[in-house]
Each structure stands twice: as structure tokens, then as C-alpha cells.
Amino acid sequence: MLKGVKISGTGSFLPDRILTNHDLEKMIDTSDEWIKTRTGICERRIADENTATSDLAIEAAKKALKNAHKKPEEVDLIIVATVTPDMIFPSTACFVQRGIGAKHAAAFDISAACSGFIYGLAVGYQFIASGMYDTVLVIGAEVYSRIVDWTDRNTCVLFGDGAGAVVLEPTNKDEGILAIDLETDGNTAELLMVPGGGSRNPICQKTLDHRLNFVKMKGNEVFKFAVNSLVKTTRKVLAKAKLKPEDVDHIVPHQANVRIIDALTKKLKIDPEKAFINIEKYGNTSAASIGIALDELVHSKKLKKGQIIVTNAFGGGLTWGACVIKW
């Protein structure tokens, strides 16, 4: 018999430095007007040069543990979703394990780009549902500013740095994660990737000269794919949970583009007021965005016990997925 799994605490952390659209106007050929109307983004946070992904993840994890009333030694597993790890190995999760003093925890990273948080929730859920572990920390964390080409206006205006975390624990009540859907289409890998720095195109002068160590994206095609895949996965996950779009109290989408979120709520016929949006402050923080949004929703006092949240994301891979949670 599988155990129920609930979120018992949330936490988030953003670097202090703010980079506004007006700052970007001085760096590249763009405008505040273009960025705001095409994406909904006004500003984003940028980590300082001494800060790595694990530094942001550690701060978010500490807050999530505090809110869950858990000590670091009680954590059994740490999962970090990121595409901007501190280094190729050890995993960023190992640095988090050390940083928070979770001396009994196993730790590993997962890579699913902006869908990483949903994938991380799914993996953490399995470990608890199966009875193997009791306390799992799932963290989405990125210093995306390190893989953005600051000379490419098509991409550099979109992203920001940050971290969000949740603590997962077993529950025997009618609450927690009700259903999860994960999907992938590797045929669309070329739409969004960092081609350099791995075993296909290792770092060398040629890789650097061709700027292969930075994000490459076909934005238009990703946009179309995003809307369709998010609608599909959300319908599917709600059906799995035996719920309808009208049963949803809060939708917490990956924060990539406010137009994608608007199209999603319109197609699902969900009141747009139910969508949690903070993209104007942080831009797209990739795997961190849902963790940050969930934490802000929890602290906004808009979320009530027993309400239904549906969260969904898409990202490089392409990967996408959704999760239904009863709070």
C-alpha cells in the first residue's frame, strides 16, 4: 500500500541584486516596453560572482526545513533540480547536504531544465510513497545568469537566478500530492539547449569561439509547444486526480512568459485570477520558479487548507509535466 505524501514546508531565496529592463536597455538593443509586453518581465535577480547554485539552494532549503519544523539531521534525501550545477560533479545536492548539515541524507541532482521541479517532486514522492524514506527535500535552484549569452537579446532578457525548496513527508490524511504527470519529447531537443560543456562538445577554444556554452533557443517554437503541452498535461493530471478544471483553486505555472500563462488559463477555462504570477519580479528562474512561486503563495495567506493546487511546467528536452496537490 503506497503512503500519502504532503508538502510540510516551503522556502525560497533570491539574490539581492536586481537587473531591470532599463538596465538591459543599456547593454543590448532592447526596450522595457518590448520585454514587458512580450514576456511580462520587469526585472530579475542576478547572483554575485562568488555565489553558486548550491549557495542559493542552501538558503531556500534552510527556510523550508524551518517552516516544516524539521532538523537537517532528519532529512533522508536531498534532490536538487538544476541545469546550472556548481560543477560537473559532485552534484549540487552534495554541496547542499554539507551546507545544511544533513548528515544522514543521500543526495543527487536531476536535470529536466525548467520542468526540473515537477520531476523532482515526482522522484521525491516515489521515495516516500514506497516507504523507503520519510523526509525528502526537493529543491529547484539556478544561477542561470552564468549560461545566458548577454549579447543575445532573444534570450538574455528572459532569465534570472533563484532557488525554491519544499519538504516532503508521509501523511495518512486526505491531503498532499494527488497525481503527477511527466512527459518528454527528445525529438525537440534542439529547440532549447546549451550545446557546449558536456561530452558532445567539451570545453575548448572552438566551443567558446562559437559560444556553445550558452543557451540557444528557438523561442517561437518553444512558445507554441509550451502552450499545447501545458494544456495537455494539466488536463491529464486533473483527470488522474478525478478533478475538473473548475475544481482548481490555484494554478502555479512555471514562470516563463505571462502570455503562455494567459493562454493556458484561457484554454483550460480556469479563471486567470487563480494563476499565481511573480514573473515580473524574477523572470524565468528555470527549475527554481515553481518552488519560489509555491513559497510565495503559501506566505500570501491566499492558500487555505483543503484547497486544490495544480502546478505545471515545460522546459528543455523538451520535458513537461504537472502535479495536483491538496493543501
Please confirm, yes or no, whether 284 is among the known catalytic residues: yes
Contact 12, 42 (CB under 8 A): no
Residues in the chain: 327
Distance linking the first and last C-alpha atoms of the chain:
22
Q: Which three cell numbers stand for residue 220?
A: 517561437
Write down the catalytic residue from 21, 67, 278, 284. 284
Q: Segment contacting ligand ACO (CB under 6 A): 31-39, 44-52, 68-76, 198-206?
A: 31-39
In angstroms, give the least distance from the CB of 282 to ligand ACO.
Answer: 13
Active site residue 257: no
Location of C-alpha cell 511527466: 182
Q: Are strands 4-13 and 18-20 parallel, antiparallel or unpaired?
A: unpaired
- 114, 156, 257, 278: the catalytic one is 114
Q: What's the CA dihedral at 53, 54, 55, 57 to 10 degrees?
A: 90
Nearer to ligand ACO, 160 or 170 (CB): 160
Going by C-alpha positions, the residue among 251, 216, 249, 206 that lies closest to residue 233 is 251
Supply the minimum distance, in Å, between the C-beta of residue 44 and ligand ACO.
Answer: 13
Q: With contact defined as beta carbons under 8 Å apart, do 152 and 214 qualify?
A: yes
Kindly tell me which residue out of 315, 321, 323, 324 binds ligand ACO, with binding defined by CB under 6 A.
315
Which residues 204-233 are close enough to bind ligand ACO by CB under 6 A?
217, 219-220, 222-223, 226
Q: Considering only residues 18, 25, 34, 42, which one is a binding residue for ligand ACO as defined by CB under 6 A? A: 34
Binder among 3, 146, 153, 267 for ligand ACO (CB under 6 A): 153
Residue 69 CB neighbour total at 10 angstroms: 10
* Residues tagged active-site: 114, 254, 284
Interface residues with ligand ACO (CB under 6 A) are 30, 34-35, 38-39, 113-114, 153-154, 157, 192, 217, 219-220, 222-223, 226, 256-257, 284, 286, 315-316
